[in-house]
Structure 1
């Protein structure tokens, strides 16, 4: 627990010290929709647009994320701190300014609310328990303690997970559990390792059901 608190303080300190030139939203939109001549693929191909999302669930929804968090992930992909065969080459093809521009663009736009299949009530109940209360028996604190009420995120450094694709959330938790995802591993690794695969699935399905409406997280 002390390690988690220390890591959170370091992240928030870094976020507070973060400063960047005023981003160019139009340039960010151009990158998102067209990519760059240097080889960065258009973001919308995987992450969707204002009116339509990628429905596979393999790529994250960019809803309600801060510019800082998106930019930090791009930097981690570029440096190799976060390993991904798709995002690594794309992030490396972007300049620092282009990373900031596209991060600012995605931090501001709104996405349509996706329709998701309702999971079994017992599964959602377990997911909600872990999200809101945690589980003392396995020494896992509530997800909302860090990710905010309803999993809406704690800007600038802690991401929103409300309404995120279940497939993506499950994959990331398992990556931390198995040690495959390295960034934020000091925070998420110990938690993910204490969760069973069933608990991971329950959490992912629960947060997928939570939608962000008018700035509030609402369980469907």
Structure 2
């Protein structure tokens, strides 16, 4: 189920976290922004450019040093899919409401723009809305690439274990998009492996509530996603506990 989301919520991303998920079409950004992201400082060693690092430091205040969250309600954003991170930031920045964004969307969808726009995923998080908007547009791609390049586990040595979590029945649909090992093969679908269970559970509940037509309180975190809602609508709380627990127990670097 967590299936086609694009839940990571992980990565959601990026956020204050009670809400994070999913997919807007890619909005092209200048290649120079990505190429300027890293600055080699010594042989075999590199660090992020100072202006990019300043933006990352803001992210790390909530999402943990190096993007590895120590707070159950906040997702780890280090090592998340770059396309997914970018789209979540775009959603929080309210992409699609700005005239210049509409031009980009129309170029991609042509006469289908209105129908396409009505199906765009939605995410609301007071904290993340403001934080995402504060990232300068010229640095957005560089910040996204930097976050994706960080180790999801903070660079800790991998511990090999023979104990593997059993796959809950209701998770069968999730692995189609998110992978049985929680590592998605799709660029716009988040990796779920190793994400905090509290975070994954909360995102699924918000998506399920949206599918059931429940209206959140004003300024309360909320999230919708057409594909994910179809998967989450009939999940029970017990199902969600099993699904979120399964993916949280997986190694964020992959492997079963």
Whether the TM-score (by the shorter chain) exceeds 0.5 is yes
| Structure holding more helix per residue | 1
SS at match of 2:251: strand
Q: Which runs of 5 or more residues in structure 1 are unaligned?
A: 5-10, 34-41, 115-120, 135-141
TM-score normalised per structure 1 = 0.70
Deviations 1:58-80 (A, max 9, x none): 11111432211101100100107
Which of 52, 60, 63 does residue 47 from structure 1 map onto? 63
Report the number of matched residues. 178
TM-score normalised per structure 2 = 0.61
Cα deviation for residue 19 of structure 1 reads 5.6
Give the alignment's Cα RMSD to 1 decimal.
Answer: 2.8
Deviations 1:130-175 (A, max 9, x none): 32xx3xxxxxxx2110112412023411110011110000000000
1:36 aligned partner: none
SS at match of 1:162: coil
- Which structure has the higher relative contact order (CA within 8 Å, separation 6+)? 2
Cα deviation for residue 217 of structure 1 reads 2.8
2:127 is aligned with 1:89: no
Q: Which runs of 5 or more residues in structure 2 are unaligned?
A: 5-21, 38-48, 96-121, 157-162, 211-215, 217-221
Q: Where does structure 1 differ by over 3 angstroms across 4 or more consecutive aligned residues?
A: 11-15, 17-20, 180-183
Change (3 A) 1:128 1:46: same
Matches within 5 A, 1:1-220: 14-15=25-26, 18=28, 20-22=30-32, 23=34, 24-25=36-37, 26=49, 27-33=51-57, 42-50=58-66, 53-79=68-94, 81-112=122-153, 125=166, 128-131=168-171, 134=172, 142-179=173-210, 181-183=222-224, 185-213=225-253, 216-218=254-256
Cα deviation for residue 20 of structure 1 reads 4.1
